[in-house]
Structures are given as structure tokens and as C-alpha cells.
A and B are shown apart, each in its own frame.
Chain A
Amino acid sequence: MIKLQGVCKSYGDEVTIGPVDLEIPRGGVTALVGPNGAGKSTLLTMMGRLLKPDAGSIEIGGHGVGTTPSKELARVVSILRQENHFITRLTVRQLVGFGRFPHTKGRLKPEDEEHVSRAIDFVDMHGLEHRYLDELSGGQRQRAYVAMVLAQDTEYLLLDEPLNNLDLRHSVQMMKHLKRAADELGRTIVIVVHDINFAGHYADRICAMKDGRIVEFGPADDVMTRDTLTRVFDTPVQMVEGPNGKLAVYY
């Protein structure tokens, strides 16, 4: 369970996020949605201890974020941000191998190699595993980073826009994979997504944010309504019945 209590963060005088109180139950995929600047990424980043909240407490699976040593936390929760700047020359496989660092401190054993292989196959990059990261497209690199997070093998996964840069096929595949990881391996996955229909179809729960606060949190079907989405995004949204469930139409 991820538990946030009174979490606040301010940027300057005007922009404030929170106070946020939220309890995300174990298991399943939770999607954070909302307009730009609503504070989704900030909230996710604070959960992943990459950013210190100004006030409040965050707990993941019983471990206090900020009080638990980073080393231990790295075996419980993994986080992936959008931009990742690196300078070293790495192959896909070497990058994914770094995901094992919290468990191995850098010495890869055969079983770690298996974890790495599985993560790479999971994101469909077997054929590209010996390519250098600077020889990949943005979407391929994104998948490599997701594979690294998967190789970290943590119960909680926080992903900031994992669908960024991905084409249609890989977006669908990524969401299916994440859903499968949640359903079959019992992982708890929190993602920030912009495509509301991806959220509606693949996520178990949706958490809608606006102006730094949580305005709606519940099962995906409950949030995917005309009124709620229109209110959250300040844009007229209509719901239509698609072949595989409800679809939001906003264009």
C-alpha cells in the first residue's frame, strides 16, 4: 500500500501541490491523470524519493519514504522519470543490468543475468540488447529504461509517462505488459499517462489531479464519466461505447 498524508510541495509563492492525502491499495495499475501542471509528476517523484516534500509523510509498503535508507527502499520501490541524462557509453543490456544494482551492488550473478534477460524480453528488445543507447530511437530508449526498472524487481513501480515516445504498437504492448506484471506478479504499479483512454482501458484505478490536488480517485469505470473528465480537463469530453468498453472523445 502507498500511503500519503498531508504531502505538500510548493514552487515559489503561487504554485503549491497538496496537501495530498491518498491511499493506493496493493496490486493493480493506478493511473495518475490530469492537465499539464496539475502536479502528477511531482507527486510521483516525491513518492519515489527523488524530491523531498515540504511537509507530510509518504509510506510505501510499510517503509517510510525519507526515513528508510535509500538502499533498502531501492529493493521495494523503483521509479522512472521522463528525462534521463547519461554520459557513459552503455548498451541496452548493460543499462538493464544496472537495475540489479540494489540487489548485487554491481556484481552480476547468473540469476541476475536471467532477471535482465527476462526484463529485456518483456519489453521486446531481445534483438537490440547489444546496441548502444545512443544508437536507439527515443521510444526504444524509453523501453530500455522501463526494462531496467523491471529488472530491479521491486514490488512497487512508479513510472512517469512510460508511453512517452512510444508508437501505437509499443504503447499497447507496454500497457499490456504492465497490466500483466500487476495481475500475474502482484506488482503495484503507478503511472502517469496523458492518454485518458489508455488509462481507462488498462488501469484498475484512476487518480485525477488538478491544480495540485486530487479531485477524483476510484475504480477506472467510476472516473471515466463525461462530467468528471470534463471537469478535470476543462474540456468538453463525451463518452461513447467502444467495442472494448467506454471511450472518451474530446476532438
Chain B
Amino acid sequence: MAETAQAVDTTRESGPLPSPRARRRYAIVLASLIVLAVVFGAGLLVWDNPVPFGTAGFWKVAELRGTSIIVMGVVAVCQATATVSFQTVTNNRIVTPSIMGFESLYVAVQTSSVYFLGAAGILAVQGRIQFVLQIALMVGFSLLLYGWLLSGRFGSIHVMLLIGIVIGGGLGSVSAFMQRLLTPSEFDVLTARLFGNVSNANPDDLPVAIPLCIAAAALLWLRSRRLNVVALGRNVSTALGIRHRSEVMITLLLVSVLMAVSTALVGPMTFLGFLVATLAYQFADTYDHKRIFPIAVLIGFVVLAGSYFIMRHVFYAQGVVSIIIELIGGSVFLIVILRKGRL
């Protein structure tokens, strides 16, 4: 009896990847994503460089492109970690953090700057101080929303989401109204900022964006064991000794920092976050956030870098990468979901 129990025990594991097969599968997925990320990253750096290899000009071009790769990395980390954590604490895999009105706020800030200051206004909201102010505004706005709605008598995530949607919709309408009153040339200048685009990023902002992004993402990563429990819902996680409300608040605060950094840096990229999170759940196939986060970040980078590569070297369409992300990413998303048949 004791022998059989011993023999059974070795196969009875409850880890996040319980069988050797699951572990192998995860390692393969991780390795392929790393390879893809490196290939696309290197491709963006050196492919079709107009200046001959090895000359000073070549490195100049590569350096410029290197900045946009760093921006992609920052955006991938921000969007991927923020969306996965947000979906975990809201216990919902359809919503994205943009529901809290980050993007409407960004659009409203950009629009009103052009509306009140003219085409030159778009410059008035660029620069490091303005960048920090925009982040502070977005984080402050969301803190107000969480602080008000999660404590006190509402105390419900659903009420918070609903009010976030309503406020976001309101801000959106105000922006739309102001946009209608702009002259065509001002509107044109504005539109370029309203599509998520890596070349929107100002390299001067990176010294602020990178530490913020790394700090917030690292804190979420360190909390992943708690996030695993929070994913079981309020009742179960409370019963297991998690202070559910404060856990949710801390996570939402970190999420809002990440979303604010990404949005202030490159503009709205919501669909990327949703796409990346959903694909990451499929590919990681585990509940463990420690393992979902890296996969999500890598997918985010691969999707971004891949889309840019295709945009620059296949379609020769400079500018609106979000359209390519939605086209290609959306198709991949549908294929994966339809093949697997579950979210």
C-alpha cells in the first residue's frame, strides 16, 4: 500500500504546469516567441537600410530605428501586463483597462490643446514636463475613480466599470464636438496623434517612461502569486486570507500607471492589449501570472514589431500601424479562438 502511494505521489503534482508535457510545451512557446521577437527586432533594425553596412550612416539609421524598438518594448510591457492584471482583478476577460477612460482622457487632452491653441497646440502638449503631467492626470483621474467607487458604499467593481464607461463616453463626445469645429488642417495634425503610433513617441520622454514602466511591471510580477488567488474571485480569495479590496486597489493603481505611460507615449493602443492578453492565455495555458506575463509581453512585442515590419517593408504605408495590428492581430485572434473554442 505504502509503495503504491509512493509511486502515485510522484505523478501527483499541483504546480502551474503539472506534467512534463505541459512544461515542455511552455518552454517551446517561450523559446519560439523569443526567437520571433529577436528576428523581428533585428529585421526592423537592419532590413532595407539605405546606407551601406558598416558606414557611420548605417549606424545612425540603426540608432534611430533602435529608439522605436525600445518604444515598442515599453508599449508591449505596459499593455500586456496592464491588461492581464486588469482582467484578473475585474474577473472578466472581455474588458480592457481603456474602459476606465484613459484613452478618452488622452484624446480629450490632445483635442482641447489643438482646439484652444490651434495647430501649434499639439506642440504645447509635447515635452517632458507635459508628458509627466499627462501621466499624472490620467493616474490621478483613475485614482479618483477607484478611490471613490471601490471604497465607500458602492464597493463594486461593476459600478466602477460602468461609471468609467459613462465618463469615457462623455469625454469622447466632448472631443468629437471640438474636433468638428477644427479647421481641416488642424484636424489633420490632430488625427496623426489620435492613432496609436510608435513614431508618436518623443525620445526625450523615454527616461521617464522606462523607469515607470519597469517599476510598475516589476511590482505586478512580484505580486503574481497573489494575483493567482485574486483570479479565483472575491469570496474565495478572501477566504484564503487575501485582503481582496486593497489587493484590487493596488493592482489597479499599477495598471493605471502602465496604461498612462503607454497612452501618453504612443497614443491609444487598446486592441493590442486585449489581443495580447487573450493570446497569452491560450499560449501559456496556465493560471500562473508569473508565466502568463512573460508570454504576454513577448507576444505584445512580436505583434508590434511584426506589424511595423510589415507596414514598412510590405505595404510601405508609414503611419497607422494600429490598422495593421487590428487587421493581422484580429485575424490571428479569431483563428486561435475558433480553433480552440474557448476564451
Interface, chain A (partner B; CB < 8 A): 48-50, 70-75, 78-81, 84-91, 93-99, 101-102, 105-108, 113-114, 116-117, 129-130, 134, 148-149, 152
Contact = CB atoms under 8 A, between A and B. Distances in A.
A94 B225 CA distance: 13
Interface of B: 8-9, 12-16, 18-19, 87-88, 91-93, 225-226, 228-229, 231-236, 238-243, 281, 285-287, 342
Contacts of A94: 14-16, 18, 287
B233 A84 contact: yes
Contacts of B238: 49-50, 70
Contacts of B8: 117
A84 B232 contact: yes
A70 B242 contact: yes
A102 B241 contact: yes
B295 to A, nearest CB: 14
A96 B287 contact: no
Contacts of B15: 94, 97, 108
B18 A91 contact: yes
A141 to B, nearest CB: 13
A102 B88 CA distance: 20
Contacts of A88: 88, 228, 231-232, 287
Contacts of B233: 84-86
A70 B235 contact: no
B239 A87 contact: no
Given A74-B239, A88-B287, A98-B232, A130 B18 contact: yes
Contacts of A78: 239
Given A93-B13, A96-B14, 9 more contacts: A48-B239, A84-B236, A88-B88, A91-B18, A93-B18, A94-B18, A114-B9, A117-B8, A130-B18
Contacts of A90: 287
Q: Which of B87, B240, B281 has the most CB of A within 10 A?
A: B240
B68 to A, nearest CB: 34
A238 to B, nearest CB: 38
A70 B239 CA distance: 8
Given A87-B88, A91-B18, A94-B18, A113 B236 contact: no
Contacts of B234: 50
